A and B are shown apart, each in its own frame.
Chain A
Amino acid sequence: GAVVSQHPSRVICKSGTSVKIECRSLDFQATTMFWYRQFPKQSLMLMATSNEGSKATYEQGVEKDKFLINHASLTLSTLTVTSAHPEDSSFYICSARGLAGDNEQFFGPGTRLTVL
């Protein structure tokens, strides 16, 4: 199956700093990548959808200036949490979809962000 990597797997930072998370599709070209966050014992909440070369589409209630998404190539998308605060602490998961029209998404291993 297709492989998606995420880096870093875990990050601890101080309040007010910015954190960048990378999501890479290793063996296929991802036309679309998705960013989710997951709080403990809750399901995945879609934050934004990004298509290569265009601006990300954010879900309602997600601040685009807070969560910057860049999808510069068909194999790499980045999520930057700007001026992180303790309430941004969460598990962030990316997924990638290859063929347009195919719903199957391949998930990265996730990044656990802790903001002190």
Chain B
Amino acid sequence: EDKVVQSPLSLVVHEGDTVTLNCSYEVTNFRSLLWYKQEKKAPTFLFMLTSSGIEKKSGRLSSILDKKELFSILNITATQTGDSAVYLCAVGGAQKLVFGQGTRLTINP
């Protein structure tokens, strides 16, 4: 059965700290790994990773995929209170996405 596991499930840090969120997976017919940010409504897209070792960057956020170890990390540097959200990792197989449980990130001022 396809499985995506995120850790930690919950994280509380101070503004300005750097955080690393983890995502490991076991999926048949892997095609891509996606990161989403979810605040009060539906998830918003952050990154899609398909190749190992190539870092994707967007401002203070970056992500990288290791297809050998079946693992991805999402880094957020110089965190701000607006980064508080649930971060979802999803892995795409042949047809559908399998979502992890999410990491609830809280940034305290």
A54 at the interface (CB under 8 A from B): no
B109 to nearest A CB, angstroms?
23
B66 to nearest A CB, angstroms?
18
- Docked complex: B18-50 residues within 8 A CB-CB of A: 31-32, 34, 36, 41-45, 48
Instruction: Say which residue of A41, A45, A103 sits within 8 Å of B31 (CB atoms).
Output: A103
B41 in contact with A109 (CB, 8 Å): yes
A14 to nearest B CB, angstroms?
25
Q: Which residues of B contact A46 (CB under 8 A)?
A: 96-99
Instruction: Say which residue of B42, B44, B95, B102 sits within 8 Å of A49 (CB atoms).
Output: B95
A43 in contact with B96 (CB, 8 Å): no
- Docked complex: A24-81 residues within 8 A CB-CB of B: 32, 34, 41-46, 49
Instruction: Say which residue of A34, A93, A108 sits within 8 Å of B96 (CB atoms).
Output: A34
Instruction: Say which residue of A42, A103, A107 sits within 8 Å of B43 (CB atoms).
Output: A107
Q: How large is the interface on B (under 10, 10 to 19, 20 to 34, 35 or more residues)?
A: 20 to 34
B88 at the interface (CB under 8 A from A): yes
Would A103 and B88 be within 8 Å (CB), given that A43-B100, A44-B99, A46-B96 are in contact?
A: no
A110 in contact with B97 (CB, 8 Å): no
Within the assembled complex, what's the spacing in Å between the Cα atoms of A32 and B97? Answer: 12
A87 at the interface (CB under 8 A from B): no
B42 in contact with A110 (CB, 8 Å): yes
* Chain A residue, CB-CB nearest to B101: A43
Would A42 and B101 be within 8 Å (CB), given that A34-B96, A49-B96 are in contact?
A: yes
29 examples of A-B residue contacts, CB within 8 angstroms: A1-B45, A32-B95, A34-B96, A34-B97, A41-B104, A43-B99, A43-B101, A43-B102, A45-B99, A46-B97, A46-B99, A49-B96, A93-B42, A93-B43, A101-B31, A103-B31, A103-B32, A103-B48, A103-B97, A104-B32, A104-B34, A105-B34, A105-B97, A106-B45, A107-B36, A107-B42, A107-B43, A107-B44, A107-B45
What 9 A-B pairs come out closest when comparing CB atoms? A103-B92, A107-B42, A103-B32, A110-B42, A44-B99, A43-B99, A43-B101, A93-B42, A109-B41
